[in-house]
């Protein structure tokens, strides 16, 4: 089951531009030299109940998941990931990331509230090898069904 969870979350991070408002950036990644940061945000209700439970995620139409994967030299890399999410009114909430490791894959997940259809701004800092990299992106989100 853990392998299935890892494969799902990795595939979501790398392949699913779900809810994406940035059509010009379909890959949803930032490159900083030999460090590549892939990111994806989606409604947690998209996850199967057993997958959400295995990852310790709250599955709800009003909860989103931000998934971050860090590659260094094209290989999964550990990092210190932190960040915030801000709505259009300027209300900012800290994101609490937890590291998930499975079969050589390393990724970081955090949950955030989705109260209504809106555009959120994510400000993320990824520190790896003693070097910090920052990225920011906007994403339109919708409560799930």
> Which tens digits make up the pLDDT trace of 27-52?
799 999 999 999 999 999 999 999 89
What's the mean pLDDT in 45-60?
91
Q: How far apart are CA 130 and CA 98, in angstroms?
A: 19
In percent, the amount of the chain with pLDDT more than 70 equals 81
- Per-residue pLDDT at 145: 59
- Per-residue pLDDT at 84: 98
Q: Where do the H-state alpha helices sit in 30-130?
A: 49-55
Q: How far is CA 134 from the centre of its chain?
A: 14
- What pLDDT digit, counting tens, does each position of 92-132 carry? 999 999 999 988 889 999 999 998 999 999 999 999 989 99
The closest of 114, 137, 111 to 23, measured between CA atoms, is 137
- Per-residue pLDDT at 26: 62
End-to-end CA distance of the chain: 25
Q: Where do the H-state alpha helices sit in the chain?
A: 2-15, 49-55
Alpha-carbon separation of residue 97 from 22, 55, 75 (angstroms): 23, 12, 20
Domains present along the chain, CATH in parentheses: 2-141 (2.60.40.3340)
Q: What angle do CA 89, 133, 113 make, to 5 degrees?
A: 35
Eight-state DSSP code of residue 35: E
Q: How far apart are CA 108 and CA 39, in angstroms?
A: 10
- Per-residue pLDDT at 104: 87
Eight-state DSSP code of residue 116: S
The reported pTM is 0.81
């Amino acid at each position: 089951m853990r392998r299935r969870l890892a494969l799902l979350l990795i595939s979501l991070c790398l392949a699913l531009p779900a809810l994406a408002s940035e059509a010009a950036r379909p890959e949803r990644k930032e490159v900083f030299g030999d460090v590549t940061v892939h990111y994806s945000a989606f409604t947690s209700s998209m996850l199967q109940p057993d997958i959400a439970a295995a990852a310790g995620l709250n599955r709800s139409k009003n909860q989103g998941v931000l998934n971050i994967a860090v590659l260094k030299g094209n290989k999964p890399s550990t990092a210190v990931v932190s960040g915030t999410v801000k709505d259009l009114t300027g209300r900012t909430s800290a994101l609490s990331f937890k590291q998930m490791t499975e079969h050589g894959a390393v990724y970081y997940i955090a949950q955030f509230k989705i109260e209504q259809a809106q555009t959120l701004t994510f400000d993320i800092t990824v520190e790896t090898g003693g070097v910090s990299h920052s990225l920011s992106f906007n994403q339109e989100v919708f409560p799930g069904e």
